[in-house]
Amino acid sequence: MILVTGGAGFIGANFVLEWLAQSDETVINLDQLTYAGNRENLASLAEDSRHVFVHGDIGDSVLVARLLAQHQPRAIINFAAESHVDRSIHGPEDFIQTNIVGTFRLLEAVRAYWHNLPVEARQNFRLLHVSTDEVYGSLVKDAPAFTETHRYEPNSPYSASKAASDHLVRAYHHTYGLPVLTTNCSNNYGPYHFPEKLIPLMIVNALAGKPLPVYGDGQQIRDWLYVKDHCSAIRRVLEAGKVGEVYNVGGGNEKPNIDIVHTVCALLDELRARADGKSYREQITYVTDRPGHDRRYAIDASKIGRELGWTPAETFETGIRKTVQWYLENQDWVANVQSGAYREWVEKNYTGRAA
Q: Which of 113, 136, 158, 226 is catalytic?
A: 158
134 is catalytic: yes
For 276, the 3-state DSSP assignment is coil
57 is catalytic: no
Q: Which long-range contacts does 96-99 make (Cβ < 8 Å, 24+ apart)?
A: 96/157, 96/161, 97/59, 98/58, 98/59, 98/161, 99/158, 99/161, 99/162, 99/164, 99/165
For 184, the 3-state DSSP assignment is strand
Query: Is 28 within 8 Å of 80 (Cβ atoms)?
Result: no
Give which of 297, 295, 140, 299 is closest to 217, Cα–Cα. 295
Q: Which long-range contacts does 49-52 make (Cβ < 8 Å, 24+ apart)?
A: 50/20, 50/24, 50/25, 50/26, 51/16, 51/20, 51/26, 51/27, 52/26, 52/27, 52/28
DSSP structure string for 7-75: TTSHHHHHHHHHHHHH----EEEEE---TT--GGGGGGGTT-TTEEEEE--TT-HHHHHHHHHHH--SE
Query: Is 331 within 8 Å of 271 (Cβ atoms)?
Result: no
Q: Which residues contact 333 (CB under 8 A, 6 or more apart)?
A: 40, 192
Angle at Cα 125 formed by Cα 124 and Cα 126, nearest 5°? 120
For 188, the 3-state DSSP assignment is strand
158 is catalytic: yes
Give which of 320, 36, 324 is closest to 194, Cα–Cα. 36
Q: Which of 134, 148, 166, 314 is catalytic?
A: 134
Q: Which of 133, 148, 196, 229 is catalytic?
A: 133
Active-site residue list? 133-134, 158
